Amino acid sequence: MKKPLPPPLSEQIIWLTGASSGIGAALLHGLSKRCQWLIISARNSDRLQQLAEPHPNVVALSADVTSRDAMQAVAADIAARFGRIDTLIANAGSCEYLDVRQFDSALVKRVIDTNVYGLVNSLEAALPLIRNSQRGYLVAVSSSVTYLALPQAQAYGASKAAVRYFMEAMRADLASEHIDVSVVSPGFVKTPLTDRNRFRMPMRISANVAAEAIIKGLQRRPWEIHFPRRFTWLLQLLGCLPADLRLALTRRAATRLPTSPQKQPD
């Protein structure tokens, strides 16, 4: 069977989670100009409505990705309105840093619940709608932190590594259905989340620059969309070093980091 061509962005119905701030809000503004319909989700209903109001082709449907029932309800609403989606962008996520001197398993659970189970709930809700597209597309935001294990990023890095593995397995299983799969691996992006970081963030870019890089990637559908390239290539290179050399680098970085965990809201 010949593989169908993906619809152009101008004809697509896209579902974007985590749309209330940061990269998600920047994607909202960029995609609303390019796609047919954009459905946006996040926990903050008032903020979503405020963001959607200027755009006649944007529909705000609030939901917490950690709630399976809430995501299923949004999917049912989308099915009733449109009957399908062409692309899911699973962008919702959170970050908290772990201080091993005050080890906190509840912190780890919170991050994994949002970043991993939030993705799983999103995929389960979206897949029936994606299968109604002529060639569906699943996109999940991972992180360049998965290239190199960094101090205090145990919870965040492990959750984003799980996202990468999960999506690559989904890519293999969905290939026969002509459903494309991508992961997004950003470096440091200026958002409310990174504004709370108390360490140096080299090559940090704006959310708008990040959104444009993602949108450009959406039109090519590669396995991975990563940026800024100089930073992500450097991390990939460092990640290929022998374990003892990696430890020498990351151990030095650990001594420069704050010693108390910080909760990073989506």
Among candidate residues 180, 68, 168, the one with its CA nearest the CA of residue 122: 68
Confirm whether 156 is a catalytic residue.
yes
Quick one: angle between helices 22-32 and 207-218, nearest 10?
A: 50
Amino acid, single-letter form, for residue 205: I
List beta partners, residue 140.
Answer: 90, 183
114 and 94 in contact (C-beta within 8 Å)? yes
CB 135 within 8 Å of CB 4: yes
Annotated catalytic residue within 117, 137, 156, 165: 156
For residue 68, CA distances in Å to 113, 214, 262 come to 11, 26, 27
CB-side neighbour CA atoms (13 Å) of 202: 7
Residues linked to residue 139 through DSSP beta bridges, in sequence order: 89, 182
Q: Is the peptide bond before 228 cis (omega within 30 degrees of 0)?
A: yes
Active site positions, annotated? 156
